[in-house]
Structure 1
Amino acid sequence: MSQPVVAVVGPTAAGKSDLAVALAARIGGEIVNVDAYQVYRGMDVGTAKLPEDERGGVPHHLLDVLDVTDSATVAEFQEWARAAIAEIRGRGAVPVLVGGSALYVRAVVDAFEFPGTDPEVRARLEEELRTQGPEAMHRRLAAQDPPAAASILVSNGRRIVRALEVIEITGRPFAASLPAHASFYEDVRLIGVDVPRGVLDDRITRRVDRMWDAGLVDEVRELGEGLASSRTASRALGYAQVLAFLAGEMSEDEARDATVRGTRKFARRQDSWFRKDPRIVWLPYDAPDLVERAVGVSIASRLDQREWGGVDQREWGGVDQRE
């Protein structure tokens, strides 16, 4: 029997990385990063990338693979991640995906095929983005495809352009190009870290404070013009706000507050999208036996349930999987 593919998901600041490392250490796993920005070298503080000494000796994949001047499509990331998963499973280890981007997670674990592209349409839309700005383009997307607009940040011009391109090419809403929750792999286990909103808001504030204390502003300065000119990396939360501060567009306190507000909004969006996936088993972030529960979800089918004290495997994590 092939190894399952496990993914630890949930909003930013939920504690996914620590849980994923502890889980991987218990089940013989290796981590596959599915965070859109941890792939960039030098973007460490602002992405909360785990330092080497906090990875518990667990191998990590798809960290620090691009320069900030590089860009990559979700389709390219899908290819890299699936290759890493095949390599890990080939060694008999368990791939443990971790990240907060629902699009990246689904692109890897689901039967997700990307619509084609049209260079002329793309070029025209990018020129319109340049002249009109992302807010106007986002309003246009909202008029054509409200669900797609709801899932894309107003500041994310690249994704807005892509959504409008798909709509124009296919004649269908961009949201229609997203697959149903149909797994690409035979055995996928999705574990969600459940944090109440008030607690999460507080954790986000404290995380942003730690990032500032750890030198986020200096990190952005060191990345320099390469980051500032990047079409992708420069949009990351925290980095975009610090760039605005360094450009004199806001004060440092305003940049920090904007990062907190933007991250909270993003976390709510993440949580909303993950909640739509009925396959996710949600586990309380503060459960004293959180790692044990995650282990149970990950390896349930390979154990007799008597070994778990007679607990019905379909009810682990407080969610009855029969419903």
Structure 2
Amino acid sequence: MTTPLPIVAVVGPTATGKSDLGVALAHAVGGEVVNADASQLYRGMDIGTAKLTVAEREGVPHHLLDVLDVRDEASVAAYQRDARAAIAAIRERGNVPIFVGGSGLYLRAALDDLRIPPTDAAVRARWEERLDQLGPDALHRELTAMDPKAAAQIPSANGRRVVRALEVIELTGQPFSATMPTREFVAPTVLLGLRIDRPTLRARIATRIDRMWRAGLLDEVRELDRHGLREGRTASRAIGYAQALQQLDGVLTEQQAKDETAALTRKFAKRQRSWFRPDTRIHWVEYDAPDLFEQSLAVVRATDVSSRP
């Protein structure tokens, strides 16, 4: 009897080639890809998220792409439910789930022992109003006073995560840090990380953004706007989409929109690095290694699935 292969996750900063590696590995091990990029959950958000086209997927089944309307709000809890259902269905077919993406918390929700705390729209709205009034630094100081451990792990600039932590503290009466994920897989899993130096990543980001505008990002955003993009709390804030909307409104020139998108993408990549760097379970491989695929496949096949990590 063949030893089953582990769940695979290809992680790392944006613009490093994760999607292509995921497809290649799927061909080699009988895999099906599960999207782990929060923005690629949305129908119609294709160019600005570098979503693989149907042709580029090369016949490999892809899951959790195009499952939300732009007016819907993505949530970690819904993603956890749907991702774990996808894992079960893929395993039932005798195939290997291969997660691909750089949304760190979504990956942890799918793969690690993470219990999602409750949420309340009214409580969250109240904290979001305070965020708008006071700014993220002030709210982060409040979080520091209530839960120093959580505050130490949440960047002050990440206003949405600060709000979420304060919401949970209010609802549960417990520190948010008590609900933060442990680094313990719920099933045997191998994490493959694509490593890249900063100057090269910066150049790749710039190239990708130029390509997005040339490929018709503005037309894509015009169409999404007709379908309620501005009403979506999550989709309308996505990097590139918010800037394209501002360009369409005449607030930004094209160059300003592209420059702002590039700056925000670089900051996002920095946050991704900070998220993944402490995870010692990740097997890091150079993004442009001549034998990237061979190295990655060897790690997958060598992973012991006979016991939990």
Whichever residue aligns with residue 58 of structure 1, its letter is: V
Whichever residue aligns with residue 114 of structure 2, its letter is: F
Counterpart residue number, 1:46: 48
Post-superposition shift, 1:228? Answer: 1.3
Return 5+ residue gaps in structure 2 as ranges: 145-150
Retained in 2: the 8 A contact 1:148–1:174?
no
Counterpart residue number, 1:193: 194
Q: Which residue among 155, 158, 181 is the counterpart of 1:153?
A: 158
Q: Distance in 2 between matches of 1:184 and 1:106?
A: 10
Counterpart residue number, 2:274: 272
- What TM-score does the superposition give when structure 1 sets the normalisation length? 0.86
Query: Any idea what SS the aligned residue of 1:258 has?
Result: helix
Computed over aligned residues only, the root mean square deviation of the Cα atoms, in angstroms, reads 2.1
Cα gap change, 1:2/1:26 in structure 2, threshold over 3 Å: closer, same or farther? closer
Deviations 1:57-77 (A, max 9, x none): 111001111111112311011
Post-superposition shift, 1:176? Answer: 4.2
Post-superposition shift, 1:2? Answer: 4.5
Retained in 1: the 8 A contact 2:37–2:100?
yes
Cα gap change, 1:17/1:36 in structure 2, threshold over 3 Å: closer, same or farther? same
Q: Distance in 1 between matches of 2:28 and 2:272?
A: 27
Q: Distance in 2 between matches of 1:233 and 1:18?
A: 24
Identity percentage of aligned residues = 56
Retained in 1: the 8 A contact 2:143–2:162?
no
1:278-297 alignment to 2 at 5 Å?
A: 278-297=280-299
Whichever residue aligns with residue 81 of structure 2, its letter is: E
Query: Any idea what SS the aligned residue of 2:49 has?
Result: coil
Retained in 2: the 8 A contact 1:5–1:94?
yes
Q: Whose RCO is larger (CA < 8 A, sep 6+)?
A: 2
Retained in 2: the 8 A contact 1:142–1:149?
no
Deviations 1:68-88 (A, max 9, x none): 111231101110011001100
Retained in 1: the 8 A contact 2:143–2:165?
no
Counterpart residue number, 1:86: 88
Q: Distance in 1 between matches of 2:232 and 2:153?
A: 24
Retained in 2: the 8 A contact 1:8–1:98?
yes
Q: Distance in 2 between matches of 1:302 and 1:165?
A: 40
Whichever residue aligns with residue 150 of structure 1, its letter is: P
Q: Which runs of 4+ in 1 moved over 6 A?
A: none
Retained in 1: the 8 A contact 2:243–2:260?
yes
Query: Any idea what SS the aligned residue of 1:8 has?
Result: strand
Counterpart residue number, 2:118: 116
Instruction: Say how many residue pairs are matched.
Output: 297
Deviations 1:6-42 (A, max 9, x none): 0000000011001111111111111000110101110
Return 5+ residue gaps in structure 1 as ranges: 304-323
Counterpart residue number, 2:148: none
Retained in 1: the 8 A contact 2:12–2:273?
yes
Cα gap change, 1:88/1:152 in structure 2, threshold over 3 Å: closer, same or farther? farther
Cα gap change, 1:43/1:97 in structure 2, threshold over 3 Å: closer, same or farther? same
Counterpart residue number, 1:66: 68
Retained in 2: the 8 A contact 1:141–1:163?
no
Q: Distance in 2 between matches of 1:235 and 1:173?
A: 28
Retained in 1: the 8 A contact 2:247–2:253?
yes
- What TM-score does the superposition give when structure 2 sets the normalisation length? 0.90
